[in-house]
Amino acid sequence: MTFFKKPKKLITEAKVEHDIQKGLNNKSTVVQNLNLDELLTKVKEPFSATEDLVTQEVELPSDTSRIALLYIESIVDKQLVQSMILDPLFTTGKEITFESFKKMASIDLKQETDFNQVPKFLLQSNTLVFTEDTTCFYTVSTPVKTQRDITEPDNESIVRGAHDGFVENLSTNLALVRKKLRSSKLTIKYLLLGQESHMKLALLYVDQIANPELVKEVEKRVKSIEADAVYAPGNVEESIEDKPFSFFPQILNTERPDRVAANLMEGRVALLYDTSPTAHIMPVNFFTFYQSVDDYNKRWHISSFFRFIRIMGFFIALGLPAIYISIVSFHYEVIPFDLILLIKSSLEDIPYPPLVEALLMELTIEFIREASIRLPARIGSTIAIVGGLVIGDAVVKAGLVSNLMIIVVAVTAIAAYIVPSNEMSAAVRILRFPFMVAAATLGFLGIVFGFLLLLFHLCRLYTFGSPYFAPIAPLNVKDLKDTFLRAPFWKQDTRPQDLNTQKPDNRNHTRKWDKS
């Protein structure tokens, strides 16, 4: 473990450096007595000789005073600079004060005095306006819109329901959530991560519903991230989850605004990112990963049935190859006589032990999946045919793997992909290998102990203070309404209790007309 520990000295050094940086910044506060040129050189100091940092001096026709615009052209929309700053300036042409400037460029204008913040404003796509009054400057938000269209997320497509998904832009994402949840209680907190990368993210919760302790905890964990650069939501996820060594995903990834909105209303907390369409929802429990937005748009019996299928898929994906291996290598006598003959005849000429056979085929499936995932659709289907049909058929004909093993592996593969969440599906696919090894060494005993360990691991797992395997451990009969079953909307009248929400009652009083 010592390998993973950071050397202590480095940390203190980093701190010293940080302090020096702070000191430098403080020094540059003394700018009052500078003229405009000196001020501009001063505020540009933190930037290297980057050429997209543009200083544009403007001389107004009716005024002798100088005005300078400062912006980073790669992240600023020049059209906006023209229409929001330059055009009004030229039309009025007076010496500007905050009030007069405010009249011209109405939106997103701020007067700032803290010159330490200049780099931050520039990096947030603002255009800064400096005048000869060097005690203050003005910021106008002029972000360039580089954004793809709102489309349905590929990995979470649904049959019926809203088809919009998040994009790589925080304000658009927030708009999508706000559109679903027009509540005055929806609270958004902006955070910046990465001393250099300044990734912007938003923490969302519904005030007076979400447990304040939870919000505080999430905020604390996110704020504690110290890194030069935080690029991906995955970085954040790994930094804030409870048990990084567990196979199970402890934070829900989604690209669907409706899912975020629904979870927020249940009392959860969400993180949205400026750089990625992925939103994180926490705390979640095991069964959250088996829910899909589709469930709520179907008739409740049908979605309950699909929930059941998915949970069964979990057990089949984990256990079926293991059970097959243990039956053919230890417990022939469990299966009926007629089936034994069948299995025996198909296994007779196979040179390998069942475990090797199973590993071979499972790994082949993983190969095919990994190979086809990044290929364009046209080549992808070729891989699927080569991998699935050719290998599957040829391997049996060559006598390397038995027919039954192909069936088992295929069913397992399909069962693993039933899970609506990609992360959970990956966890299940990884976990079935230890199960297979356990089954090959100890038979049923190995499988039983495997499941014991797995279930106990789930029982002792917590995410952000709430138990991961809720509502079945600890058992909470009331909360089962949205796990194994999807109870009808009018029955879902409480929020999940393991979240300790401020308002356990969600006031679902529908079908009142039916009571009379």
Partner 1 sequence: MNSHTITHRQLFFLVIQTQIGVGVLSLPYTLFSKAKIDGWISLFMAGIFIQFSVLAIWKLCDRFPKQTIYEILPKIMGKKLGYVFNAIYTIHFSFISILILIMYNSIVGKWILFETPHWVIIFIMAAVGYYVITSSPREIVRFFVLVTPLLIILFILILYAYTDVHLLYLFPVGHTGILTIIKSSADAVVALLGFDAALVFLAYSNASAARNIKVISFASFCITILYGFIVFTTYIFFNPKEIIIVPEPVLYMLKAFSFSIIERTDLIFLSVWIISVATSFVCYLFIAAKGVQTLFGLKEHQKGAPYIAIFCAVIAIIPDDKLEVMTWNKYITMTSVFLSAVFPIVLLVIAVLRKKQEKGAATS
Tell me how far apart the alpha carbons of residues 283 and 263 are, in angstroms, rounded to a whole number: 10
Tell me how far apart the alpha carbons of residues 343 and 339 are, in angstroms, rounded to a whole number: 6
- In whole angstroms, the minimum distance from the beta carbon of 313 to partner 1 comes to 20
| Residue 393-432 contact track with partner 1, rule CB under 8 A, x = bound | ----------------------------------------
Q: Residue 252, interface with partner 1 (CB under 8 A)?
A: no
Q: Residue 447, interface with partner 1 (CB under 8 A)?
A: yes
Report the number of secondary-structure helices (H) and strands (E) in the chain.
Answer: 18, 12
- In whole angstroms, the minimum distance from the beta carbon of 480 to partner 1 comes to 13
Q: Residue 335, interface with partner 1 (CB under 8 A)?
A: yes
- In whole angstroms, the minimum distance from the beta carbon of 213 to partner 1 comes to 13
Burial class (CB in 10 A: 0-12, 13-18, 19+), 289: buried
- Which residues within the stretch 184-213 sit at the binding site for partner 1 (CB under 8 A)? none
Element housing 291 (H / E): none
| CA R_g for the chain | 30
Nearer to partner 1, 410 or 442 (CB): 442
CA distance readout (Å), 278 to 156, 173, 194, 272? 11, 10, 18, 7
| Residue 467-496 contact track with partner 1, rule CB under 8 A, x = bound | x-x--xxxx---------------------
- In whole angstroms, the minimum distance from the beta carbon of 334 to partner 1 comes to 5
**DSSP states of 11-69:** HHHHHHHHHHHHHHHHHTT--TT--HHHHHHHHHTTS-S-TTEEEEEEE-TT--SEEEE
Q: Residue 343, interface with partner 1 (CB under 8 A)?
A: no
**Number of residues forming the site for partner 1 (CB under 8 A):** 26
For residues 261 and 490, the answer to whether their CB atoms sit within 8 Å is no
Q: Which stretch binds partner 1 (CB under 8 A): 29-37, 174-182, 217-225, 438-446?
A: 438-446
Nearer to partner 1, 414 or 475 (CB): 475
Closest to 189 (Cα-Cα) out of 167, 166, 210:
210
Q: Is the peptide bond before 7 cis (omega within 30 degrees of 0)?
A: no
- Which residues within the stretch 80-99 sit at the binding site for partner 1 (CB under 8 A)? none
For residues 277 and 167, the answer to whether their CB atoms sit within 8 Å is yes
Q: Which stretch binds partner 1 (CB under 8 A): 132-140, 149-157, 189-197, 446-454?
A: 446-454
Q: Which stretch binds partner 1 (CB under 8 A): 58-66, 131-139, 216-224, 445-453?
A: 445-453
Bridge-based pairing state of the strands 199-206 and 186-193: antiparallel
- In whole angstroms, the minimum distance from the beta carbon of 491 to partner 1 comes to 22
Nearer to partner 1, 123 or 459 (CB): 459
Nearer to partner 1, 123 or 473 (CB): 473
Q: Which of 460, 503, 509, 511 binds partner 1 (CB under 8 A)?
A: 460
Q: Which of 443, 466, 479, 481 binds partner 1 (CB under 8 A)?
A: 443
Q: Which of 94, 148, 331, 503 binds partner 1 (CB under 8 A)?
A: 331
Tell me how far apart the alpha carbons of residues 269 and 203 are, in angstroms, rounded to a whole number: 7
Q: Which stretch binds partner 1 (CB under 8 A): 63-71, 199-207, 248-256, 333-341?
A: 333-341
- In whole angstroms, the minimum distance from the beta carbon of 214 to partner 1 comes to 16
Burial class (CB in 10 A: 0-12, 13-18, 19+), 117: middle
Q: Residue 336, interface with partner 1 (CB under 8 A)?
A: yes
For residues 122 and 72, the answer to whether their CB atoms sit within 8 Å is yes
Residue 509: CB atoms within 10 Å: 10
Nearer to partner 1, 311 or 360 (CB): 311
Q: Residue 245, interface with partner 1 (CB under 8 A)?
A: no
The amino acid that residue 67 corresponds to is I
Binding site for partner 1 (CB under 8 A): 330-331, 333-337, 442-445, 447-449, 452-453, 455-456, 459-460, 467, 469, 472-475
